[in-house]
Structure 1
């Protein structure tokens, strides 16, 4: 007997609502087949069977609220032994019928796996909240290579980071089920490892059929109704989850008209929201020219390179920020003399005691947190017609890498000392350089800092990192003449730029925020005294 439990639902999500059971008690199921859909505040989550067998019991009914780890149902063996009331004769009949699907092409993988005896699946790991697919970058091992457990065998690019897929056991790569460039989803099997020669032989004898079946099944899953030749009106039998029905009703659209990107072409909550939003904006966008379907020919001294998923996501999110937020930027400058003098005086003692260098980011972060506490709208976000005020301060630090811009987050900066901030920043910067950042390292920021000054920038207008409402741009420190007590002096000055969402942050609040940051940096004792 195997329990079917609620999986991890993503950062800050602790419970879900049972949306729809796609199987009923007594139904035969295959490994990785979706059994039930859960709805959270953010996404719909599909819970799949962890093994072949029979759905022997449904514990949580549709509409029930369940927490992470709660039991949704129970999975019995394929022989039907789980239901206690069943007779032996029906059990034998079920056992015979359970063998039938194994003769079908899409289920060839099951017979290959069981036939080898010692084959171990290598599956795509969870990719994080809201990330449902990735692109296989490359295999670091080939068929026949020996591998050790937890050794990286493949890399997957997602919209946010590159993920490494580790070997699940010691052995030999028996077969590779996908190719570089293929789209993969969490839980899908991309390779198999054999513990000995027998498994490898079994894989080589049936590997091609298995791979074709896997790729065909994956392609069919990702197709939209348009790609399969179905019209929206021809989908009346397609299952629709309660969340999709609710969004469709609120938007005044037919849920069957919503193109689906989920399993078997089903519409997800995100599909419904996107469809309703596009329908509402249709009159505004009808006259916009559509992009050309064909690519232009390149010249003799030009080169065409496909954008990585990370770069595509950066481009899309930055454009969405411009299209969605009422973005405005306000500027100020800060005299860095006090911070530089303090840093010069204590940097050696600081490094000796804390084991990290004393930089500028610790001072800036503490100044930002102090200003956010006074002006909470800059630390808030818009959710529909509501404003969510956040009483915690997770500051994102924009970092440029070879693969593109990433924004790792330092958590609870209000509870960290300057040394703690510098230490966390150093760890994240190292992970960014080495390509070791995880989805969790970049989720949940409330405000972002970007430092163009390290590249020599004098002034810029940073773009918001949605759904955040503020981003602070730092720039290079430059010796400039300024008036001090009626005299002209040369001081190390830095321009600061605050881009903010004018929908919830007023000009007065934005200017006040920037002035508070300036005051704290020009008089660091204010941070110590909290004034």
Structure 2
């Protein structure tokens, strides 16, 4: 009996989605919880899994089709096998009719030859244990495990690397590809933020030497104590921002129409770059998190972001955002607000510069900080003092723990 495959129920903030990739073809066998199709929404990519063991019977909505919540996109036949599909039956019959293949002085079964080619084995080195020295599939599997018949001169599969595009002299090549839904949404939100907010940016610089010294002194102990979690710079910035937000509630607020919403919690978004675009997962209640909690959460979000496995709930909400262009080498930039938030902090590259310290010139690891803010909500005085507070907390990290 065929079971309907439907698009999932999208959250209220997501109107529809686009079929991105079907990972199975009609007639292919599927195991329970195996990935069937990716549906890309404005915010995340949602995976639709097989409800049970069976066969993907039919695809109703092809790739690049826009679908709504709970829309029928295909049919799944539970408990069926791939042989139930006509194409699969023909393939099985064809393989059954194949006879043993002789390569050089070796005689192989069709399955053994296919497996040997897939694993780049030298057929001449294979040892057959079957009748008359026949090489079976089991013989090939043993050779794969032992590595004894690996082809020494065989090149890597050509398909693994894309062939270079040869362009004739003077030829002007263009390539047009559709913009992904996520990229479209990012573009729309960035333009809206610039058009609707009175955005200004204030800059400062922070001496990173105290944080770097503290990190160098305790990083090994920290990693050992917290089961491999590494002590990075982002956790110091998150904790410093959480403390500064307590002192400047306007920076932690958001604008909703003609209302100002003051948040009594400190949920900080950390921008993560992925192949699909920039995503901003949220760290909840950062004022109660330890440095280890922050680092492990960011690491987990970054991993899931690269794998396309962040959910809507992971990126919903947030009262403040931190973005780090320094990891890509940016020395200074102007971050754009993540609406409806009213402020965003930009970190940048740490660069050694000569600084005047107590009347002496010293080389210090300095970082430029940028705070973009909505002037409708935040006055320039508060924005500058907020950024100075972060600078002071980072230049004397003990103040973060002491909350002074």
TM-score, normalising length from structure 2?
A: 0.76
Q: 78, 96, 99: which is aligned to 1:195?
A: 78
The residue number in structure 1 matching 2:213 is: 341
Aligned residue for 1:366, secondary structure, equals helix
The residue number in structure 2 matching 1:425 is: 298
**Could you list the per-position Cα deviations for residues 378-399 of structure 1 after superposition, in whole angstroms to 9, with x for gaps in the alignment?**
1111111110000111111111
Q: 413, 416, 419: which is aligned to 2:286?
A: 413
Q: 135, 140, 147: which is aligned to 2:30?
A: 147
**Could you list the per-position Cα deviations for residues 229-250 of structure 1 after superposition, in whole angstroms to 9, with x for gaps in the alignment?**
xxxxxxxxxxxxxxxxxxxxxx
Whether 1:464 and 2:337 are equivalent positions in the alignment is: yes
Aligned residue for 1:372, secondary structure, equals helix
Whether 1:178 and 2:61 are equivalent positions in the alignment is: yes
Shift of 1:487: 1.2
Query: Structure 1 residues 197, 404: closer, same or farther in 2, change over 3 A?
Result: closer
Matched residues in 1 for 2:299 and 2:55: separation?
Answer: 38
**Could you list the per-position Cα deviations for residues 30-57 of structure 1 after superposition, in whole angstroms to 9, with x for gaps in the alignment?**
xxxxxxxxxxxxxxxxxxxxxxxxxxxx
Shift of 1:129: 3.6
Aligned residues: 320
The residue number in structure 2 matching 1:481 is: 354
Shift of 1:202: 12
Matched residues in 1 for 2:297 and 2:10: separation?
Answer: 23
Matched residues in 2 for 1:444 and 1:463: separation?
Answer: 17
Moved more, 377-386 or 492-501: 377-386
Q: 398, 414, 427: which is aligned to 2:271?
A: 398
Matched residues in 1 for 2:49 and 2:79: separation?
Answer: 19
Aligned residue for 1:125, secondary structure, equals coil
Q: What does residue range 58-457 of structure 1 map to in structure 2 within 5 Å? A: 118-195=1-78, 300-355=172-227, 356-457=229-330
Q: Tell whether the 8 Å contact from 1:121 to 1:168 is kept in structure 2 after alignment.
A: no
Shift of 1:201: 8.1
Matched residues in 2 for 1:202 and 1:301: separation?
Answer: 43
Aligned residue for 2:26, secondary structure, equals coil
Matched residues in 1 for 2:378 and 2:80: separation?
Answer: 66
Q: Tell whether the 8 Å contact from 1:498 to 1:510 is kept in structure 2 after alignment.
A: yes
Aligned residue for 2:321, secondary structure, equals strand
The residue number in structure 2 matching 1:212 is: none
Aligned residue for 2:386, secondary structure, equals helix
**Could you list the per-position Cα deviations for residues 143-190 of structure 1 after superposition, in whole angstroms to 9, with x for gaps in the alignment?**
111112211110111111111111122211111111111111121121
Tell me, which stretches of 5 or more residues in structure 2 are unaligned?
88-170
Tell me, which stretches of 5 or more residues in structure 1 are unaligned?
1-117, 205-298
Matched residues in 2 for 1:358 and 1:516: separation?
Answer: 22
Aligned residue for 1:378, secondary structure, equals helix
Query: Structure 1 residues 133, 203: closer, same or farther in 2, change over 3 A?
Result: farther
Aligned residue for 1:192, secondary structure, equals strand
**Could you list the per-position Cα deviations for residues 314-336 of structure 1 after superposition, in whole angstroms to 9, with x for gaps in the alignment?**
11100000001100000000001
Matched residues in 2 for 1:422 and 1:505: separation?
Answer: 29
Matched residues in 1 for 2:398 and 2:341: separation?
Answer: 29
**Could you list the per-position Cα deviations for residues 430-469 of structure 1 after superposition, in whole angstroms to 9, with x for gaps in the alignment?**
1112221111111111111000000110100000001000
Shift of 1:300: 4.3
The residue number in structure 1 matching 2:158 is: none
Q: Tell whether the 8 Å contact from 2:54 to 2:80 is kept in structure 1 after alignment.
A: no
Shift of 1:371: 0.5
Query: Structure 1 residues 196, 373: closer, same or farther in 2, change over 3 A?
Result: closer
Matched residues in 2 for 1:362 and 1:523: separation?
Answer: 15
The residue number in structure 2 matching 1:250 is: none
Query: Structure 1 residues 485, 136: closer, same or farther in 2, change over 3 A?
Result: same
Matched residues in 1 for 2:86 and 2:389: separation?
Answer: 66
Give the 4+ runs in structure 1 shifted more than 3 A: 200-204
**Could you list the per-position Cα deviations for residues 63-91 of structure 1 after superposition, in whole angstroms to 9, with x for gaps in the alignment?**
xxxxxxxxxxxxxxxxxxxxxxxxxxxxx
Shift of 1:128: 2.8
Whether 1:526 and 2:393 are equivalent positions in the alignment is: no
Matched residues in 1 for 2:41 and 2:69: separation?
Answer: 11
Matched residues in 2 for 1:125 and 1:360: separation?
Answer: 38
Q: Tell whether the 8 Å contact from 2:321 to 2:344 is kept in structure 1 after alignment.
A: yes
Q: Tell whether the 8 Å contact from 1:175 to 1:203 is kept in structure 2 after alignment.
A: no
Aligned residue for 1:328, secondary structure, equals strand
